[in-house]
Homo-oligomer: A and B are copies of this chain.
Amino acid sequence: MTTQKPYRAPVLADVAREARVSVPTVSRVLNGSKYVAPELAQRVQRAVESLGYRPNEAARSMRSGRRTLVSVLSGATANYGYARTLQGIETAARRAGMSVTITMVESGEDDDVKRAVDLALAHPTAGAVVLEFDRAGINARHMLPEGLPVVVAGGGSRRTGGIPAALIDERTAARQATDYLLRLGHECVHHIAGPTAGKHSGRTEGWRAALTDAGITVPTIMNAEWDAASGYRWGERIAGRDDVTAVLCGNDEIAIGLMRALADRGVRVPQDVSVVGFDDQPLVAMWQPSLTTVDQDFEDLGARAFGLLERLVAGDGSATSSVVVPQLVVRESTAPPRG
A residues in contact (CB < 8 Å) with B: 1, 4-9, 52, 54-59, 61-62, 68-69, 76-78, 80, 82-84, 86-87, 90-91, 94, 97, 99-104, 115-116, 118-124, 145-149, 227-228, 232, 252-253, 256-257, 259-260, 263, 281-288, 290, 299, 315, 317
Contact = CB atoms under 8 A, between A and B. Distances in A.
B124 A102 contact: no
Contacts of A56: 62, 122-124
Contacts of A102: 86, 90, 100-102
Contacts of A58: 58-59, 61-62, 123-124
23 contacts: A4-B317, A57-B123, A58-B59, A58-B61, A62-B62, A68-B122, A68-B123, A76-B87, A78-B299, A86-B102, A94-B116, A99-B120, A99-B122, A99-B123, A100-B101, A100-B102, A227-B282, A256-B283, A259-B286, A260-B286, A260-B287, A287-B287, A288-B288
A288 B263 contact: yes
A276 to B, nearest CB: 16
6 nearest A-B pairs in the assembled complex, by CB-CB distance: A58-B58, A7-B147, A83-B83, A78-B83, A260-B286, A57-B122
A87 B104 CA distance: 8
Given A58-B61, A68-B122, A257-B286, 14 more contacts: A6-B315, A7-B146, A54-B121, A56-B124, A57-B124, A59-B62, A80-B80, A99-B103, A99-B123, A100-B103, A253-B282, A253-B283, A287-B287, A288-B288
Contacts of A86: 78, 102
A90 B286 CA distance: 32
Nearest to A252: B283
Contacts of A8: 147
Given A7-B148, A145-B7, A104 B94 contact: yes
A54 B260 contact: no
B91 A145 contact: no
A229 B81 CA distance: 20
Nearest to A70: B101
B147 A4 contact: yes
